[in-house]
Amino acid sequence: MVNYRLDKSIVLVGLMGAGKSSVGKRLSEEIRIPFVDSDDEIELAAGMSVAEIFERFGEPYFRAGEERVIRRLLSGEPQIIATGGGAYMSQTIRSDIKTSGVSVWLKADLETLWERVQGKRTRPLLKVEDPKLTLKKLIKERTPIYQKADIVLHSKKYGTQSSMVKKLLKQLVFHGELECFNG
Ligand code: S3P
């Protein structure tokens, strides 16, 4: 059996709908290393949904909680962490990831993202009149920051998650972030 060892957490970043959670879960199954979703952890800590936090306390409050939660997740044993789409915009979070993790940007085009998020009403930033336009603006605004990630993984409309996971595994081994051994 092939076993895997991680020295640092793998941190998945990218826009809403890029597939961070699903790819993270698949990777976790493949290498048998725990997976955690930062939005789920924020919800657990706050005792309410992300949408509710935005509604009741506003985005800056959510972002402050997001920084605290991601710092805590990074301070534990290496694991696979899916972050919310805006997390990597924070300089503090980027620098925490640089210290204790390897960042992977799941890069997807507008049509791919839109197909995955349209009709879902859970994301506060997309509860606007023209959510597709908002997504387009976010791609433009955030791409220069996501580009700073250590690894870029293309997330395509017709690509399968298992092929993405295979590519990611290869890249992580190539970058020396993941060790595999028989045993
Ligand atoms: C956000 C993305 C969401 C969530 C929040 C804000 C963003 O996470 O953290 O609604 O700023 O892009 P997902 O990327 O998992 O949808």
Q: What is the CATH number of the domain that holds 132?
A: 3.40.50.300
How many domains does one find in the chain? Answer: 1
Q: What is the CA radius of gyration of the chain?
A: 16
Tokens 């985005």 correspond to 59
Per-residue pLDDT tens digits for 99-115: 999 999 999 999 999 99
What residues does 106 pair with on adjacent strands? 153
For residue 53, is it within any domain? yes
CA of 166 to the centre of ligand 1 (A): 25
Domain membership flag for residue 93: yes
Which tokens go with 56?
């009741």
Amino acid at 119: G
Whether 178 is covered by a domain: the verdict is no
**C-alpha–C-alpha distance, residues 108 and 111, integer Å:** 8
What pLDDT does residue 147 have? 98
Evaluate whether residue 142 is within a structural domain: yes
Asked whether residue 177 is assigned to any structural domain, the reply reads no
List phi, psi (to 5°) of 35: -115, 140
Q: Is 62 exposed, middle or buried (0-12, 13-18, 19+ CB in 10 A)?
A: buried
pLDDT in tens, 30-85: 999 999 999 999 999 999 999 999 999 999 999 999 999 999 999 999 999 999 99
d(CA 170, CA 173): 5
Give CA–CA dist 167/160, Å, rounded.
11
Asked if the structure places residue 182 within a domain, the reply is no
Query: 3-class DSSP state for residue 44?
Result: helix
Å from CA of 123 to ligand 1 middle = 7
From 123, 125, 143, give the residue whose CB has the most ligand 1 atoms within 8 Å, as the site to mutate.
Answer: 123
Decide: 125 in ligand 1 pocket, CB within 6 A.
yes
Share of the chain above pLDDT 90, in %: 89
Is the Cβ atom of 14 under 6 angstroms away from ligand 1? no
Report, as an integer, the average pLDDT of 15-30.
96
Q: What is the pLDDT of residue 161?
A: 83
Is residue 43 lining ligand 1, measured as CB closer than 6 Å? no
Strand pairing report for 178-182 and 101-107: unpaired
For residues 25-30, average pLDDT:
96
Mean pLDDT on 5-18: 96
User: Domain residues for 122?
Assistant: 2-165
- Mean local confidence (pLDDT), 140-148: 98
Q: Which of these, 34, 32, 36, 35, lies nearest to 4 by C-alpha position?
A: 32
Q: Which pTM value belongs to this model?
A: 0.97
Residue 87 lies in a domain: yes
In a domain, 52, yes or no: yes
